[in-house]
């Protein structure tokens, strides 16, 4: 019986550490103004550049698309995919060249 209690205590300590790691992540709001778009996604290093994984919420008539993500501290490159076309964020504080000859946008998440 004592082994079971010790095991439960170890598991509890492990479970307590997980939320602390999650607290290091910060909410990041991705916003794109794009009139007439039907499907808008955000992708980047944080989701292995899967173009149709993180759908943004918006209204084609309103032209405003948003997505909130929890990201760990660090520098994250990203792009938007608008109706199948890859676009950098025109409002990003920084854009960098990529290997395809276009731009990736950058967001810096501080700890």
Q: Which residues contact 42 (CB under 8 A, 6 or more apart)?
A: 30, 32, 54, 56, 67, 69, 78, 79, 80, 81
The DSSP 8-state label assigned to residue 89 in this structure reads: -
Tokens of 55: 């759908």
3-state secondary structure of 105: strand
Domain 24-109 of CATH type 2.60.40.10:
yes
Give the pLDDT of residue 23.
55
Give the pLDDT of residue 61.
83
Q: What's the pTM? A: 0.77
| Cβ atoms of residues 83 and 55 within 8 Å | no
Q: Which residue has the tokens 């916003």?
A: 31
Ordered per-residue pLDDT tens for the chain, 111 residues: 444 444 444 444 434 444 445 559 999 999 999 999 999 999 999 999 999 999 999 987 889 999 999 999 999 999 999 999 999 999 999 999 999 999 999 999 999
Spans of all domains in the chain: 24-109
């Amino acid at each position: 019986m004592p082994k079971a209690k010790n095991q439960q205590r170890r598991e509890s300590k492990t479970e307590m550490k997980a939320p602390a790691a999650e607290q290091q992540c910060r909410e990041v709001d991705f916003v794109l103004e794009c009139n007439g778009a039907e499907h808008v996604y955000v992708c980047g290093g944080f989701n292995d550049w899967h173009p149709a994984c993180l759908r943004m919420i918006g209204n084609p008539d309103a032209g405003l698309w948003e997505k909130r993500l929890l990201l760990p501290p660090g520098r994250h490159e990203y792009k938007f995919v608008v109706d199948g076309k890859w676009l950098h964020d025109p409002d990003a504080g920084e854009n960098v060249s990529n290997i395809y000859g276009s731009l990736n946008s950058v967001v810096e998440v501080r700890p």
